[in-house]
Amino acid sequence: MNDNSANTQTAHSVAEVATPQARKYLAQLCKHFQHKLPVTWDDSTGRIAFSMGECRLSAQDNFLTLSLASPNDAKLERLQDVVARHLLRFAFREALDVQWRRPEAPGD
């Protein structure tokens, strides 16, 4: 799989989700989507290539960081919805707070 998709992604967002189960949810998301999409992951990082963009995941002890990139704002919003809905479904025992923010461009 080539990695020049990052060159065409212009809309970005990040969510840092507080949870002691970060590694568990990273694995669940990746395993779930691997049946239909290109997915790579290990114990602390993951990448899911959607048709509407890309989700990179990073698990720390008490946080799951979701970084999204998409060609435009409309696809980014759809990607945010898909990723958040699936995470919340897997984490139904926890009251997770998924708040997307747009990272500042360099020089802002």
Specify the pTM: 0.87
CA distance 55 to 59: 13
Q: Report DSSP state, residue 101.
A: B
| Residue 75 pLDDT exceeds 90 | yes
Which helix (H) or strand (E) segment holds residue 64: the answer is strand 63-70
Query: pLDDT: is 5 or 94 the higher one?
Result: 94
Report the Cα–Cα distance between both ends of the chain, in Å, rounded. Answer: 33
Tens digits of residue pLDDT in 84-96: 999 999 999 998 9
Q: Domains in the chain, start-ordered, CATH in brackets? A: 8-90 (3.30.310.50)
Q: Which of 85, 98, 100 is nearest to 12 (CA)?
A: 100
